[in-house]
Structure formats: C-alpha cells, structure tokens
Structure 1
Amino acid sequence: MDRSVFRISVGIAVVFVLIGVLIPEQLGAAMEVAKGFVLEKFGWFYQLVATFFLIFAAFMIFSKYGKIKLGKEDSQPEFSRPTWFAMLFSAGMGIGLLFYGVSEPISHFSSPPAGEGGTAQSGIMGMRYTWLHWGLHAWAIYAIVALALAYQKFNRGAPGLMSATLHPVIGEKVKGPIGKTIDVVAVFATLFGVAASLGLGSQQINAGLEYLIGIPNNFFVQFLIMMIITVLFIVSATTGISKGIKLLSNINMSLAVILFIAILILGPTLFLMNMFTTTMGSYLQNVVQMGLRLSPFNADEAAWTQGWTVFYWAWWISWTPFVGMFIARVSKGRTIREFTVAVLLVPSLVCALWFTVFGGTGINLEMVKGLDVSGQSLETALFFVYQHLPFGALLSVLTVALITTFFVTSADSATFVLGMLTTGGELNPPNRVKVIWGIILVASTLVLMASGGLTGLQTAIIVSALPLTFVVLVMCYGLVKELGKEYDIQMNQWKTDKKNKSNQKAG
C-alpha cells in the first residue's frame, strides 16, 4: 500500500488545523480574499462547466455506450434499487435538504435574483432557482465522476482513485507525482465539502434543541454536538459499508419520507401541488438560461449569482470525490444508461418535491398569513415554520433525529472515501485510517466555523473545487476514449459470435 498520499494529506490537514487554532482571524481574512477572487474571476467558468456536465450526462444516456455494463457481463447489483436510492441521498445531500429546505426558497422569495421580492412572481422564480441548484446540474456532476470511477474500477480493475480515471489520457503518469497531486486535491475538496455539511448540521441541531428545550444557540454548544456525534460516526465507520452505512441510509430514507408526507398533509397541500406544477413548467422553460446567467450589466444581480449559483456548482464539484466514489462503490452491475438515468433524474425529482413542500409551506405562511419566515436565520427557518403547523414539537424532534442520522451517515461515508483516497483505492480501508480522517474532518469543520462561520465553510469549498474542476473535465475526455474502445471490442465480439452461429447452422 502506497502511504505517501496519506502522509502528505494528513500533514497538510494538521498544518491547516493548527493555523486555524493559532491565528483564526488571519485565516478567515485570507480565505475571504481567496473567495472573492475565485467568485469574481471564475464565475463564468463554473457556469459553463456545470452546463457542459449536464449535456455530457445526457449524452451518456442516449449514446451507443448506454448498454455497457459497469462490471463484467455477469455482474449483478449488490443492493436493491430502494436501498441504492437511499444510499444516494444519505451520502449526497441529506443535511443540505433539511438546512436549506425552507431557508433557500424563502430567501429567494424575499431577495430574488432579479426584480422585486415578496411577490407571487418572486415566489415562483425563487423556487425554480432552488430547483436549479439542487436538480439536474448538480446530479449530472455527481453522475459523471461516479461513472468514470465505477468504469475504471469494475471494468478495468483500476484502484478507486480520482487519479485512476485519468489513465486513458496520461497513462502511467497517474502512478507518479501527477497522480498523487490529483488525489491530494481530491482529498481536500472532499474534506472541505463535507465539512460544510457537518457545520450546517451542527448549527441546525443546535437550533432544534433551542426550540425544543431552550439550549443556547452558540459555538460552544455546536462544539459539544460535534463531539458527541463524532463518537457515533466513528463507531458506525468501523462496522463497514454493508452494516453501518446501509442501516443508517435506510433509517434516513424512512424518516425523510415520514417527515415529507407529514409536511405535505399538515401544510397547504393544494397550494404546494399547484406550486410544484407551475415551478416545473417554469424550470423546464428557463433551465438553460438560469444555468448560464451572470448579469454582466447589473452588479447586484451578478453578486447574487456568485453567492448562490456559483457557490453551489463549486460545492457539488468539491463533493464529487466523496459522493462520486461512494455512488460508484454501490453501483456495480448496472448499465451506463440505467446508472445515469437513475442518478440524474430520480434524485432531481425528489429534491424538487422536497423543496416545493418545505419551501412552499414557508412562502405560503409569509404571503397568506403574514408571518416573517424570511426574517429567520438559515438554521432556524425550518423550526419557525414548525411552530405554526400542527404537531410542531413532534416534527422538530423528528427533524433533529433525522439531521443527526444524516450527520452520522455523511461523516461515516466521508471517512470511508477519504480512507480509499489515501490508501491506494482500498475498497475496505483500515479502521485506523478512517478514525484518523474522522478526527481531522471534525477538527477542520470546527476551525472553519470558528474562523469564518458559514462564510468560512463556503470559502473553503469554492477555493478547493477550482483545481478539481479541471480534473473532472479531463476525466470526461478519458471516459469517452475508454468507452469507445470498449464499444468496439463488444461490437467485434458480437460480429464474431454471429459469424460463428451462422457457420454452425451452415455446417
């Protein structure tokens, strides 16, 4: 096992944590400068590549490569479709769905990307931009990286590393300094991307506990929450993917379905279904324009796009080693077409339904009943909505439980992926390695929260995602190159088999 990536990554991570502990103000200031530079200079680039990834994913569905199986011809899926979908959500966007479920649509409703806020038009516009951020573009990014990783692992026998997906382009150089650099970049994109979710999760658990039992909402409480949950996810991580993550994923899905149905029934049901239908038409009509919008003549609108849309593209790209590798790990035996359709369409539809129900309920409470939902903080908006629904306390208890299980599953999955990335692609990394990464992950999250709060988490994502974006672009080229060879081999084999059958009949 090559330990160099592990040593380098851990060393850099420890230095980062020490800097955050010793000089948090300076770290926060430096990260803010870096964030402003990337958003201003590379916003156009993120918009273009996100759209390209969506087009590329659609090409994979409809191309001649769709019938190629991930694995040998006789490979069968390891997990059932319901369990597979549950794993996609638990590792992908679990905490974010709860944190932003109400807060993002209501924020766009009150401060839309264009025009006046607080109107029916801004409600529809805000909802469709939420769909944009959590829909087809996001899952296309995941699908591409997961597909490249799965193909290299199950069809070519390559290690489960980001660098391995570039073998068709740079050859054996993936085993040298270039490949190791790519893997280190992937490690830190994963580390910061997941840290953002864990930071959001701890803040919202704290907000829920404040609502339920009056516990103060501050950094010290969030620190204690993270310490307790760290023990839980390390225990889960040491049980392996087939036990810990699978069990928690199914629990997550069950709790999420119960919560979703409860809000749909207890909230303004007819309004929500009308909102969903209207937003779908608006989204499909404007998806291309929204995905490429930058507003070069309006500084305020440009800043909105940078702070929301560009940030989300960077966040999803930073999560690709984590989510992509995890999806690849549980997707053996599925065809490229089945895989891409499932990863692209099913989660996008569920996210659309989720945000319509939760965000639509918040918008309805503000427009119809005059409540100040948009005036709440991001982490408290959901619990504020619960206060004005039947069984609000019970919904809050269920939500805190769900955030906790999502928290544990995300951290558990992240330590598993970080272990793979730093042990040469081991499918079952040693528990010691996973525990080390679990501790570093929590320490990095706390440092980012202490030095800049949510802004610090966003900055780390945006900066770390930039170099990884170029890796994913090269990955797309390498994937098409490999699939072309695979298709030619299969076609030649098919022609040979057909010719042999014809000869046998003639004989």
Structure 2
Amino acid sequence: MVLIVSLILVSMFVLWGALSPLGLASVMQFALSATIARFGWFYLLSMFGFLVFALYLAFSRYGKIRLGGEDAEPDFTRHSWFSMLFAAGMGIGLVFWGVAEPLSHYATPPFGIPESADAARIGLRYTFFHWGLHPWAAYCVVGLALAFFKFNRDRPMLMSTTFEPLIGKRAQGPIGKTVDILAVVATAFGVATSLGLGAMQISSGLHKVFGLDNGISLQLTVIAIAAILYLASSLSGLDRGVKILSNINMVLAMLLLLFVLSLGPTLFIMDMLTTTLGDYLNNLVAMSMRLTPFSKGTWIADWTLFYWAWWVTWAPFVGMFIARISRGRTIREFVTGVLLVPSLISFLWFATFGGAALHAVMFDHLPLVEVVKQDTSLVLFSMLDSLPWGTLTSLLAIVLVSVFFVTSADSATFVLGMMTSKGNPTPSARIKLVWGVLTALVAAILLMSGGLKGVQATSIVIALPFMVIMLMMCVGLVKALDVEANKLERRRHARDKLLERLLSERESSSS
C-alpha cells in the first residue's frame, strides 16, 4: 500500500507540475509563505532541539550502546563510512552553493552594510550555520532511531517502526502507513529537486567549458546519462556501487579542494576558516534562535527557515541511508561521527571556495557578485577561471558534480526501495528500477515545465508535519534506549556477580 499510494501521489504532483507549473508554483508558494510566517519559531526550536538531543544521547549512559548488540562489528571501514556519509548528506549542495551562498550573503547580509567586510564575515558565518551541525543533527536523530530498531530490535527499517514504543501495534496500521507514505513523498520531492539543481550546474559547466547551448535539451541529456549510470550502480548493490562511487567522490572533492586551497589565497582562507569557526561556535545559540519580529525582515525566512525545512525533507532519505551503513557503531561513535566529520569537511569546503570568491571580489575586484545574481549555477566556474588552469579545474568540477549526482540518486533509489518494500534492507532490483526511473522523470518533467520551485516549496511544506514526526521519534527512541540500557546494566551486574563468585570459589579451592 505504501508503494502504490506513494507512486500515485508523486505522479499526481508531477502531472500537476507538467500541465500547470504556474498554478503549482503559486499554490505551493502561498502554502510556503503561510507555513514560514506561522511556524518559523517551531522550525528554529525543533532544529536546535535535535542538536541538543543528539549530543545528550552521545554523552549520556546510552552512548555505550552498540547498534547491533554488544558483539556487532562494523560493516564498513571508517574511511568508507565517512565517505558515504559525506556523499549522501551534502553532495551536490556543497558544490552548487560553495561559492554562491557566501557571495549571496555578502551582497545581501542578514544585517549590516551589504558588500562590506562585516557582510563577508557574517555571510560566511551563516553559511557555516546552514551547513554545519544542525542539518547533521536532523539526519542523526532519524538515522539513529532507524538503526537502533533495526539492528537491536530486529524490526523493519521504517519510520513507523520508531512509533512502536509510543502507540504499540497501531504503528503497523493506518497511522504507521501514513508516516511511511509522508516520508517517501518528502524524499522523492527533495531528491528530485536536488537532481534538477545538479543537472543545471552540470549543463552550466559544459556551456562554460565547451560552449554547448545551456538549454533544456542539454539538461535532459545530462539527466538521461546520469540515470543510466545511477541505475547501473544501484542494481550492482550497496557494497559495490555506492561504496565505490562515494570513495571516488571523496578523492575528487579533496583534489579540487586542495587545488583551490593551494593556488588560491591560502593564508586568507585559513585566517577566514579560523575566525569564522570561532565566530560560529560563539554565536551558535543566538543564531539558532534568531527571528526578526520587530523589523519584519525576510532574510531568515528566505535562508535559515528554508534550509531547516529543506534538511528535514532530506532527513528520511539520509537518515535511512546512514542507518543502513552504521551497524556495529556505538551510539557515541555514531553521533560524533555523523555530527562532526561531515560538518568539519563542510566548514573547510565553504571557507576555501567562499573565501577564494570573497578574496577575488574584495581585493581583485572581479564581478562575481553580478554573476551570482544572474545565475547561481555558473558562479563556481567563474571563480575557478580566476585561478590558474581554470579550464582543467572546471572539468574536474563537472566530473565531481556528475559523480555526486549519480551517488545521490543511487542512494535515493536504494532508500526509496527500502521504504516501499516494508523496510527490506536489500530491496529488489525491480523496485529500485521503478524509483530510479521515476526520480529521473520527476527531475526531467520539472525542468521542462519550469515547476522546480513549486515542487521545492512543496517539499518544504511537507517538512512541517514530518518535523512533528521527528520529535515523536525522539520520544520513542529514548523510551526504547532506556529499556535497552537497563537490560545491559542488569546483564553486566549479573556478569560481575558471576565473576565474583568464580573468583571466590577459586580462592577457596586454593586455600
């Protein structure tokens, strides 16, 4: 039922977007504006709450609980685990916004004078904020809940399963099905929109390097080729396809990062990284709670609330994927790994690319701000042109975005297959094929109809009820962890008693 209803709902929205993109966009924009205006405070408090909750789990008595039981061994090495976390969670977004977001904030900061030194400093700090601990805390909450119930309770890896400590067997009925369907729809729209952005940037890069016509035909060609690649990867299995591509991703991303860091304004980048990291940590709580009720400004709604809702729509997909690859990790290792490693890589990425772009604008007086205002997908390649071997690095960036595109779609196909096959950790090739083709069609139809923004708004509106679901997941997880921790403590106590008795018997026999 979850599969059929999800396919019908996604197909209806796609048909609406194809037949009436303006109608879809206007309705969804109205719903988006109403949601943000009325529930902005709820988004901010919930996202900060997820971060506090994740840290509490890591450093509480639950931190020693191992996913899969006391004797479970990790399925993947730490290097492969980190690579898959990084590729699935951020991927295309880092490349797309690495230059564009810091420059956008520099041109229009949340407060202060535009295109000033303070605007550059504040803009990079908020970029860290949007791509740092908060999104990974949302992924962490969902991933940890799914992993625990799957590996420690042997329950299906479904969102509805995490409700069993709260509502018992009713989690397997209509309530649970509704939760699962909502997660599938949110994931499908969130991933399709990101694939649309990836196709736009790849086509912009091909236009910049090879002079190809940057139109819908090129974008559709990119989607078609990528679909063939990610379907082949998905059908090859998690241990080969996603793992190999994620490791390739990490190598390509590090090569591009080291190139810009080495040949760009290295000292400026490192100074900016250090300053912004300290600024970010110092203002973390204040930024987490900042709204503008007196000035009625729209910056927070346009950026922070948008991002928070966007990450929540990605939480079912990324959470389920990292749950699937995290068997054998302790909760403390899971939380610290999921929170810190991708966040630190993101900080270094934005400091490097955003710092190089800001240096080019502020000191070399390059017109990158004008470029980002015209086309956000093109500004990365314009920045790379300001460095040596610009054509070569632009080619590397195109390959990197392409591999990220394939990896994200590959992971999404795998997770959607799990969601719609009763949580089966190895969904059938047929179901993965269905979702792989449908995801490509969604992205293609959205680009052809111009309804990308409308469906993007749809996924953000969907985030509101799913955020409520995530809060309930936290309550259910704590109840389940409390039972597990008490069981382990009783087991350890019994083991200690047995050891004391054996030692006592040995001493008696010796005497």
> TM-score by structure 1 length?
0.97
Pairing of 1:60-209 with structure 2 (within 5 A): 60-209=57-206
Q: Deviations over 1:168-197 (max 9, x none)?
A: 111111111111100000001111111121
Q: Is 1:269 matched up with 2:266?
A: yes
Stretch of structure 1 that moved more, 365-374 or 20-29: 20-29
Counterparts of 1:87 and 1:484, CA distance in 2 = 30
Counterparts of 1:298 and 1:448, CA distance in 2 = 36
User: 2:476 — aligned with what?
Assistant: 478
Pairwise CA RMSD of aligned residues?
1.1
Q: Is 1:350 matched up with 2:345?
A: yes
User: 1:229 — aligned with what?
Assistant: 226
Q: Is 1:36 matched up with 2:33?
A: yes
Unaligned runs of 5+ in 1: none
1:74: how far off? Answer: 1.2
User: Residue 393 of structure 2 aligns to which amino acid in structure 1?
Assistant: L
Counterparts of 1:457 and 1:450, CA distance in 2 = 13
Query: What percentage of residue pairs aligned between the two structures are identical?
Result: 49
Counterparts of 2:190 and 2:106, CA distance in 1 = 26
The answer to whether the 8 Å contact 1:383/1:396 transfers is: yes
Counterparts of 1:130 and 1:275, CA distance in 2 = 13
Pairing of 1:67-466 with structure 2 (within 5 A): 67-300=64-297, 303-376=298-371, 377-452=375-450, 455-466=453-464
Counterparts of 1:429 and 1:27, CA distance in 2 = 33
User: 1:18 — aligned with what?
Assistant: 15
1:457: how far off? Answer: 4.4
Counterparts of 1:306 and 1:444, CA distance in 2 = 27
What secondary structure does 1:149 align onto? helix
User: Residue 398 of structure 2 aligns to which amino acid in structure 1?
Assistant: V
User: Residue 333 of structure 2 aligns to which amino acid in structure 1?
Assistant: E
1:448: how far off? Answer: 3.5
1:506: how far off? Answer: 2.4
Unaligned runs of 5+ in 2: 506-511
User: Residue 321 of structure 1 aligns to which amino acid in structure 2?
Assistant: P
Q: Deviations over 1:82-122 (max 9, x none)?
A: 11000001111010000000000111111100111111111
Stretch of structure 1 that moved more, 179-188 or 211-220: 211-220
Q: Deviations over 1:256-289 (max 9, x none)?
A: 0100000001110000000011101111111111
Q: Is 1:6 matched up with 2:16?
A: no
The answer to whether the 8 Å contact 2:147/2:327 transfers is: yes
Counterparts of 1:452 and 1:171, CA distance in 2 = 44
Counterparts of 1:104 and 1:25, CA distance in 2 = 26
Stretch of structure 1 that moved more, 216-225 or 199-208: 216-225
C-alpha distance 453-367 of structure 1, shift in aligned 2 (>3 A): farther
Counterparts of 2:458 and 2:203, CA distance in 1 = 23
Counterparts of 2:355 and 2:59, CA distance in 1 = 34
1:454: how far off? Answer: 5.2
What secondary structure does 1:299 align onto? coil
What secondary structure does 1:389 align onto? coil
The answer to whether the 8 Å contact 1:449/1:456 transfers is: no
Counterparts of 1:429 and 1:371, CA distance in 2 = 50
1:452: how far off? Answer: 4.6
Q: Deviations over 1:451-490 (max 9, x none)?
A: 5555334302211211111110000001111111111111
Counterparts of 1:371 and 1:185, CA distance in 2 = 45
Aligned length: 502
1:210: how far off? Answer: 0.7
User: Residue 462 of structure 2 aligns to which amino acid in structure 1?
Assistant: S
User: Residue 342 of structure 1 aligns to which amino acid in structure 2?
Assistant: G
Q: Deviations over 1:400-427 (max 9, x none)?
A: 0011111011001101000000000011
Q: Deviations over 1:28-80 (max 9, x none)?
A: 22122122111212111111101100110110111011000000211100111
Counterparts of 2:347 and 2:451, CA distance in 1 = 28
User: Residue 415 of structure 2 aligns to which amino acid in structure 1?
Assistant: V
1:220: how far off? Answer: 2.8
Counterparts of 1:270 and 1:451, CA distance in 2 = 45
1:222: how far off? Answer: 1.1
Counterparts of 1:457 and 1:217, CA distance in 2 = 22
Counterparts of 1:210 and 1:22, CA distance in 2 = 29
Counterparts of 1:121 and 1:359, CA distance in 2 = 15
Counterparts of 2:72 and 2:59, CA distance in 1 = 22
Q: Deviations over 1:216-243 (max 9, x none)?
A: 2222321221112111111111111011
The answer to whether the 8 Å contact 1:20/1:451 transfers is: yes
User: Residue 75 of structure 1 aligns to which amino acid in structure 2?
Assistant: A
User: Residue 315 of structure 2 aligns to which amino acid in structure 1?
Assistant: T
User: 1:495 — aligned with what?
Assistant: 493
User: Residue 208 of structure 1 aligns to which amino acid in structure 2?
Assistant: G
Stretch of structure 1 that moved more, 352-361 or 447-456: 447-456
The answer to whether the 8 Å contact 1:311/1:458 transfers is: no
The answer to whether the 8 Å contact 1:106/1:359 transfers is: yes
User: 1:56 — aligned with what?
Assistant: 53
The answer to whether the 8 Å contact 2:25/2:455 transfers is: no
Counterparts of 2:450 and 2:308, CA distance in 1 = 21
The answer to whether the 8 Å contact 2:17/2:451 transfers is: no
> TM-score by structure 2 length?
0.96
What secondary structure does 2:369 align onto? coil
Counterparts of 1:308 and 1:241, CA distance in 2 = 34
Counterparts of 1:392 and 1:44, CA distance in 2 = 44
